[in-house]
Structure 1
Amino acid sequence: MTPEHHSIDISSQAFWDSTFDERERSFARLRTEAGPTWHAPLPADFPYTEPGFWAATTHQDIVYVSKNSELFTSAEGVAVSPMPKEPQVAMSFFLTMDPPEHTIFRKLIAAAFTPRQVKRIQHQIEQTARVIVDGLIGAGDVDFVSACSSLLPMHTVSDMIGIDQKDREPVRRAAEALFGAGEEKMATDVDSLTIMLTQVELLRNAAIEIAEARRRKPEDDLMTNIVQAEIDGHRLTNDQIGAFMILLSSAGNDTTKQTTSHAMLGLARNPEQREWLLADWDGRIGGAVEEFVRWASAVMSFSRRATRDTEIRGSRINAGDKVALFYCSGNRDASAFGGTADVFDITRNHNPHIGFGGGGVHYCLGSHVAKTQLRALFRELLTRTPKVEIGEPVWLKNTFVHGIKHLPAHFPA
């Protein structure tokens, strides 16, 4: 029998239009419940039949579901909002696979990241970070998001894949539109699913074109490694490489972009932490980056489906039920982070955050690249723009990304 929807509403558009802090008050109350709670489906602008979802809001429950892929499958889709399976698979690649299939494709991608390529990517990231900050020094009033946060992640993706300079701007716009589809819909009256599928096709075609070129004429780059990688007789097809590009452009772009904006805002509001970091950069930046990721919680949620009847701390979950993993809630759970869970604190010495997922087979494959970008960019920002002033953010209204749409900044001459 399907349970009644919980009295705390975390499904309505009004809830997701409220601030992060307002939503967190509701999640904090749900974290006191005996187990996951049952809720109505999130809003969608196309027909669906989902009865609702279980909300895993505690750090403990999110980690439990994440680490039990046999009991909680990704193959039926990973979106919390109702969405047809086909576009989810097209956008998510091996995020919507379970082992052993997932294991093969994860190994294929990992095989392309040779030590030589990792070193090359790191050098490109550091070089691009310097160029970005060169353009900020003395720039005066700018939108930090468009002038800084959004640049390095997509530059990195473009460098890794080998996207031609002339094609980079439309690729960047397509990647950003994937998660801004809700707001774009309001501006264009085109439904969000159509907007997403349009961007998906553009990104897919860009990657396939490069893959075919590398098969004809290999180069010393990551895409050549990707098309040549082979595990147990498996190689990536064009469609799979196109799907990887979509995943890389979305997961590898918007998450790091948003973490950069949140971290810059956090440091501006806590100048004593900025000074603490600069006093021992090499010794402290590693822990600071972990707090950047926890605090931002750029990806707020993913979901799984129960493969059989089960139970989580007294909540009886039926086979086929959707279980939503609210990372944004788990990353504010006092049981995992202590009494300062709701505070930005780069001096935190125990930080089991779930900003890259709750562990298990789907732990973020690109976490090292994301951390490299954050270290490189904040080294340049904090050492070369000490007098930057940060204003009040304009927030992105979104049910998936914890986003800052605009962040006013002033870089004095």
Structure 2
Amino acid sequence: MTTATRPEHDVDISSKAFWDKPFDERERSFARLRAEPGPTWHPPLPADFPYTEAGFWAATTHQDIVHVSKHPELFSSAEGVAVSPMPKEPQIAMSFFLTMDPPEHTIFRKLISAAFTPRQVNRIQHQIERNAKDIVDTLVGAGEVDFVTACSSLLPMYTVSDMIGIAPADREPVRQAAETLFGAGEEAISTDQDTLTVMIAQVELLRNAAIEIAEARRRRPEEDLMTNIVQAEVDGHRLTNDQIGAFMILLSSAGNDTTKQTTSHAMLALDRNRDQRDRLLADWDTRIGPAVDEFVRWSTPVMDFSRTAVTDTEIRGSKIRAGDKVALFYCSGNRDAAVFDRPGTFDITRNPNPHLGFGGGGVHYCLGSHVAKTQLRTLFHELLTRTPNVEIGAPTWLRNTFVHGIKHLPANFPR
């Protein structure tokens, strides 16, 4: 970690007050930073841990985020990927191969990819279709509900549970642990516990659940992804119990909350932009693919990650020193007018749409993007064709510097 000082930019994107503002207000600050000739230096974000850092470079343009993402030889993930100050150890425990660089990262990505055989992908798709139908069955004529609880949060965790082999009776504790892990700061406030204590408890629950299933599949293989994971081998490497536990933490948190948040944001956007909803339904087969990409761009559920410079380098005139943190603000890159026409408009026909919702490309591009898109396509077909008269209320937003989250979303499914 560098301790050198340098001038801090006068646009505040570091304070709690900034991150408590609505998205559109924060976007005005990011727009000012995108107009700068290169990345800008800022003081560290508020810390949930007794840990200090010098600050960070803000990569706010689409161009800069892609550049950093595609050059792991210059910008490492191994020192951690959180923008908020956080010790390296809990980041590694929660992020698995997100906090690895090639060649180590390459090995583990291949191991996980090897488990997604065509047969497993087909099986997962059928499970998603069945679960989406079952969820919407409960919404038809349900009256007043919280859309997040009754819909958004269900399909991704059902999908993760089916993939890994979590029994239906154990799904709810796993879902709660995953959601708490993503919103640990708020959970700590509500329980008077420190954030690290809250996070460790959820990590252990998810880790132990995965290890128990992995050991069971080694003894008695079944037709599920966990069996493929314990049997996968690449270049003589197999995943250990600890590594499978770490993958479970990544899958159940990142794979759950991101799709959940995208679902909530997309439902809200379609309600507020009825012309877009009508346009989608008028030509579903042609428009659902671009629409899903717009759902992801619009929501940008993961707002930021970071990298650490491994050598002195330069980004458009900004001199980055070895050890400097570089924050990748996907929420800003996805509103970059240099790349997106009318970026503040929700447009399900947007094409091209090189959004950063699955990362900026390179070795860390989201491994689960196909599964996420399948869930969104399937669920929204059920929702829009079977509940055409649903009314959406005002959202309650999650206070977070990492997740662009909707905590509650009132919905009325007329009886």
TM-score exceeds 0.5: yes
1:166 positional shift: 1.5
Secondary structure of 1:182's match?
Answer: helix
Q: Is 1:21 the equivalent of 2:18?
A: no
- In 2, the alpha carbon distance for the partners of 1:185 and 1:202 equals 17
* Aligned-partner residue type, residue 403 of structure 1: G
Structure 2: any 5+ residue segments left out of the alignment? none
Secondary structure of 2:326's match?
Answer: strand
* Aligned-partner residue type, residue 76 of structure 1: E
Secondary structure of 1:341's match?
Answer: coil
1:49 positional shift: 3.0
* Aligned-partner residue type, residue 349 of structure 2: T
Task: Give matches, 1:233-252, under 5 Å.
Answer: 233-252=236-255
1:222 positional shift: 0.5
Q: Is 1:374 the equivalent of 2:356?
A: no
- In 2, the alpha carbon distance for the partners of 1:218 and 1:391 equals 46
Q: Is 1:58 the equivalent of 2:74?
A: no
CA contact (8 A) 2:48 2:86 kept: no
Structure 1: any 5+ residue segments left out of the alignment? none
Residue 408 (structure 1) aligns with: 410
Q: Of residues 307, 310, 314 in structure 2, which corresponds to 1:307?
A: 310
1:64 positional shift: 0.2
Deviations 1:228-275 (A, max 9, x none): 000000000000000000000111000000000000000000111111
- In 1, the alpha carbon distance for the partners of 2:152 and 2:407 equals 11
CA contact (8 A) 2:76 2:309 kept: yes
Deviations 1:128-182 (A, max 9, x none): 0000000000000000000000000000000000001121110010000011111
Following TM superposition, the consecutive aligned residue runs of length 4 or more in structure 1 with deviations greater than 4 angstroms are none
CA contact (8 A) 2:8 2:41 kept: yes
Q: Percent of counterpart pairs with the same letter?
A: 81
Secondary structure of 1:54's match?
Answer: strand
1:47 positional shift: 2.3
Deviations 1:295-316 (A, max 9, x none): 0000000000000000000100
Residue 289 (structure 2) aligns with: 286
* Aligned-partner residue type, residue 395 of structure 2: P
- In 2, the alpha carbon distance for the partners of 1:270 and 1:61 equals 31
TM-score normalised to the size of structure 1?
0.99
Deviations 1:170-210 (A, max 9, x none): 00100000111111111111111211111011000000000
Secondary structure of 2:139's match?
Answer: coil
Task: Give matches, 1:1-400, under 5 Å.
Answer: 1-338=4-341, 340-400=342-402
Secondary structure of 1:302's match?
Answer: strand
* Aligned-partner residue type, residue 212 of structure 2: E
Deviations 1:371-406 (A, max 9, x none): 000000000000000000001111000000000000
1:325 positional shift: 0.1
CA contact (8 A) 2:48 2:185 kept: no
CA contact (8 A) 2:48 2:195 kept: yes
- In 2, the alpha carbon distance for the partners of 1:12 and 1:367 equals 32
- In 1, the alpha carbon distance for the partners of 2:45 and 2:5 equals 17
- In 2, the alpha carbon distance for the partners of 1:256 and 1:132 equals 15
Q: 1:354 to 1:45 in 2, by over 3 A?
A: closer
- In 2, the alpha carbon distance for the partners of 1:234 and 1:349 equals 41
TM-score normalised to the size of structure 2?
0.99
User: Aligned-residue CA RMSD in angstroms?
Assistant: 0.7
Secondary structure of 1:253's match?
Answer: helix
- Range that drifts further, 185-194 or 302-311: 185-194
Deviations 1:72-128 (A, max 9, x none): 000000000011101100000000000011000000000000000000000000000
Secondary structure of 2:246's match?
Answer: helix
* Aligned-partner residue type, residue 359 of structure 1: G
Deviations 1:315-372 (A, max 9, x none): 000001000000000000000102x101111111121100000000000000000000
- In 2, the alpha carbon distance for the partners of 1:362 and 1:180 equals 23
- In 1, the alpha carbon distance for the partners of 2:190 and 2:368 equals 33
- In 2, the alpha carbon distance for the partners of 1:216 and 1:47 equals 43
1:46 positional shift: 2.8
* Aligned-partner residue type, residue 366 of structure 2: C
Secondary structure of 1:141's match?
Answer: strand
- In 2, the alpha carbon distance for the partners of 1:166 and 1:386 equals 32
- In 2, the alpha carbon distance for the partners of 1:375 and 1:202 equals 31
- In 1, the alpha carbon distance for the partners of 2:336 and 2:92 equals 31
- In 2, the alpha carbon distance for the partners of 1:276 and 1:287 equals 12
- Range that drifts further, 46-55 or 310-319: 46-55
